Amino acid sequence: MHTPPSSPLYSHDFYGDQAPGSARSADVVLPLVFELLQPASLVDIGCGIGTWARAAMDLGVQRVVGVDGDYVKSAGLRIPADSFVAADLATAIPVLGERFDMAISLEVAEHLPAGRSDAFVGELCGLADTVVFSAAIPGQLGTDHINLQLQSAWASRFRAHGYVAFDLVRPRIWHDERVEAFYRQNMMVYVNEQRQELLARAQEQVASLPVTFDVVHPELLAFWLRRANRPVSTAQGARLTMQAARHALTRRLHR
């Protein structure tokens, strides 16, 4: 899981808890993605402390840029400081002045206001002809999940920009426990239809793997059910009430 646009909840401890699973997932997934395209440059939108960007560097990507909130810098970046760009993604992806071979944005869009959805996809398409994207689906638990949509809804937005969805990764990692279940559930690869050579390569790779958009991974479903049936303490109840109030205020402010 990458980072949302607000800061107080996302401390060094938060990143310390999620970084090992994120890094382990990146080590498995990126080599599979790079079978489509071995990028010389990559941008990670909502990079957190840069676990995926770091993995890309270790795989030989020469130019890596990570974009996330300014608060990330104090949480222990895993990429060079000059490879990190601070931004409020709830407002816009900043103009980076270059186009990359590949863009990734993983488990980020659910933290952005729903009204940002169309523009966010357009901004990602403006960065690269290949976009690796995942976002939480309705019912998916997590911190500050305020914009939950099915994979098909995001695919429609990418299609409006001329990007075709390919299920290149999920069938190959669905049962791989090294990869966090939300990546296994949500990750799609989008290719600019103007890049005919990339399109043909992607079509060849998925020839025996039909696209299935709206699925729930059984591991996540089991986790949600356990959480739903767990008694809520007084402290947890107060925290959930505060979160609900904050989300309601955020929605009003962004109307």
Residue 221 pLDDT more than 80? no
Domain coordinates of the chain in residue numbers? 12-215
What mean pLDDT do residues 144-167 have? Answer: 95
What letter represents residue 18's amino acid? Q
Model pLDDT, residue 141: 82
How far is residue 82 from each of residues 22, 65, 66, 73, 102, measured CA to CA in Å?
Answer: 22, 8, 10, 11, 19
Tokens of 1: 């899981």
Model pLDDT, residue 235: 61
Q: Which of 2-6, 39-43, 227-231, 243-247 is predicted with the least confidence, judged by mean pLDDT?
A: 2-6
CATH 3.40.50.150 fits 12-215, yes or no: yes
The percentage of residues in the chain with a pLDDT greater than 90, rounded to a whole number, is: 68
Cβ(82)–Cβ(73) below 8 Å = no
Render 38-77 in DSSP notation, one character per residue.
--SEEEEET-TTTHHHHHHHHTT-SEEEEEE-GGGGGGT-
* pTM: predicted TM-score of the whole model, two decimal places: 0.81
Which helix H or strand E contains 199, and what residues bound it?
Answer: helix 196-205
Residue 248 pLDDT more than 60? no
3-state secondary structure of 1: coil
Q: 193-204 pLDDT, tens per residue?
A: 999 999 999 999
Residues in a beta bridge with 100 = 128
Cβ partners under 8 Å of residue 24, min gap 6: 178, 179, 180
Cβ(198)–Cβ(191) below 8 Å = yes
Residue 17 pLDDT more than 90? no
Cβ(149)–Cβ(161) below 8 Å = no
Residue 232 pLDDT more than 90? no
What mean pLDDT do residues 219-235 have? Answer: 66
Cβ partners under 8 Å of residue 41, min gap 6: 61, 62, 63, 64, 65, 98, 100, 101, 102
Cβ(107)–Cβ(2) below 8 Å = yes
Residue whose structure tokens are 């770091």: 54
Residue 219 pLDDT more than 60? yes
How far is residue 153 from each of residues 138, 166, 196, 243, measured CA to CA in Å?
Answer: 11, 14, 24, 26
The chain-wide mean pLDDT, for the chain, equals 86
Q: 85-124 pLDDT, tens per residue?
A: 999 999 999 999 999 999 999 999 999 999 999 999 999 9
Tell me the C-alpha distance between 53 and 78, whole Å. Answer: 8
Q: Which of 28-42, 49-63, 214-228 is predicted with the least confidence, judged by mean pLDDT?
A: 214-228
What DSSP state is assigned to residue 112? S
